[in-house]
Structure 1
């Protein structure tokens, strides 16, 4: 009977540890982009350009457009700390999801993404050693500028993302303690 109780106790302890321990397979940055919708009077077909939680750049538009995602600048205050060169036509970016049709307006929305996690790791540091974002030690504010080029006119415009927060999570075994 004692052995049975000990086995049950160890099983319960094991289940408890499985619930509060988890593994982060690789170091990564996450981003919270609270900037509202982008409204560009010259490009009404461009509906959204924002960062998703995983640092992927999400672009939504209503018809194939002749725009190029040139680059993404990372800034602290007014200083550019790094640039991700993309130079891809927005139509050729990776699909985020299948296009969908708005039932009310009958508009077809095309959704694309540009994966930038490697660029975040390169610019900010693989171990968050360069700027220590999300730790409270960074001096000033973090900004991201997205450069879009109109391939018809060769004019470049900048979409500024200034209401963002960036967090870093290192790889390894983590303890999850829910707040009560």
Structure 2
């Protein structure tokens, strides 16, 4: 009986450090500085969340902007394109209104999920991702003003990717 109790406690202790990643996935850290577009001062931010979702934030509503496409580049070579062609207002709502550091109220927060596209372009098993050691990874976001028919590009140049394969993992805390 004591042996079973000790064995059970060891199993419970070990389960504290084991977790399951349900499927292969990418994570992104976007360290590019805040964008400033003189023609679109109501646009606060276009960046990536840790889960690879694209986040777009506005100070006031814009009906005439379309998320056109996103290019993935290694150095100067385009390795994949995501064609979106959706009005920004039609993207998924994300979070609540908040007040930015400059005192302006951010009223529109939209997101666009990209995890499947990261897996398609960079490899479901990290094949392309593994080759990034020798090159820099960039993402270009194309947004079109439907009133002027002008497309502007937002370059995200200071990003870091991490690939995590699905399956059981062991968490080892730093002591």
TM exceeding 0.5:
yes
Secondary structure of residue in 2 paired with 1:31 = strand
Select which of 113, 138, 142 maps to 1:143.
Answer: 138
CA contact (8 A) 1:100 1:110 kept: no
Query: Aligned equivalents of 1:162 and 1:127: distance in 2?
Result: 24
Aligned pairs (5 A) from 1:142-161? 142-161=137-156
Query: Aligned equivalents of 2:75 and 2:142: distance in 1?
Result: 18
Select which of 105, 108, 120 maps to 1:107.
Answer: 105
After superposing on structure 2, the runs of 4+ consecutive aligned residues of structure 1 that deviate more than 4 Å are: none
Root-mean-square deviation (CA), in Å? 1.8
Select which of 120, 123, 133 maps to 1:122.
Answer: 120
Query: Aligned equivalents of 1:178 and 1:9: distance in 2?
Result: 23
CA radius of gyration, larger in: 1
Secondary structure of residue in 2 paired with 1:15 = helix
Calculate the TM-score normalised by the size of structure 2: 0.93
Gaps of 5+ in 1: none
Gaps of 5+ in 2: none
Query: Aligned equivalents of 1:164 and 1:108: distance in 2?
Result: 24
Alignment length, in residue pairs? 174
1:90: which partner in 2? 88
